[in-house]
Chain A
Amino acid sequence: MADIYHIYIKAPGLASDDPVLDKRLNTALDWIRYGDQCWLVHTTSDAAKWYQRLAPIVKARGGNLFIIKLDPTKRQGWMPKSVWKWIKDARSTQI
């Protein structure tokens, strides 16, 4: 069963499009970065697994990491259409 998680990463010296970060995030089924430091991740892994994947990158730089499972059935907002489309596509490809 795949879920959607919100991941916030703040790490000094780590760009949002850093290849090291992309490599870890690409282990997910899909992801979208909707802000400088915010991702939605469609994944079959749980929060603990994502912490294992990302914590070494963040802790080495003295940054912050926040991972939380979302309930995408309860959503509202004013966001780029691509974000809504991504959520819709992710929900339609539940595994």
Chain B
Amino acid sequence: MKLKGGIVGRLSILGVVAMFVLLGLFLVGAQWKIGEVMIGVAIGALLIIALAIGGAMLWYANKHPETALMEGAEVLVHKQLQITTKMGIVDEAMLEPSVDETMPVIEVKATQSDLDALDVPKSLPEAPANG
């Protein structure tokens, strides 16, 4: 599978390059046996970088799976394709999220207890005595 595009694709390429550099350092260290401490430090730093890149890739791909491999322009097209009408794709300016300004404005300032409060069922009308 090719991972060329998007932030995940680019970080993948960076990760592969880092692995080659790591391999090169191993070979240099084995052949000339010089600066072993420095090579060890460099290998350690590369491992940390590789782990950080891997973690960032997993986080982003998990949070944005549909756009993880897309370039900027592709992300825009993806958004436009999502918002499509019978008449066609909508303008980029109309993709910006907002509230519906024609409806009453709701201030989002609920407390945790408000958020946790359960719905109270409305009482049903009394059934007729004979029914």
Contacts and interface: CB of A to CB of B under 8 A. Distances in A.
Contact of A78 (B81, B93, B94, B98): B98
A77 interface: yes
B96 A80 contact: yes
Nearest to A42: B86
Interface residues of B, number: 22
Contact of A30 (B85, B91, B97, B99): B85
B100 A33 contact: no
B102 A81 contact: no
A19 interface: no
A34 B94 CA distance: 12
A70 interface: no
Interface of A is mostly: mixed
Interface residues of A, number: 26
Contact of A32 (B85, B93, B100): B85
Contacts of A32: 83-86
A67 to B, nearest CB: 17
B75 to A, nearest CB: 14
Interface in B75-114: 81-87, 90-91, 93-103, 106
A31 B81 CA distance: 14
B102 A88 contact: yes
Given A17-B84, A32-B84, A32-B85, 6 more contacts: A33-B82, A35-B82, A79-B98, A82-B91, A82-B95, A84-B98
Interface of A: 16-17, 25-26, 28, 30-36, 75-88
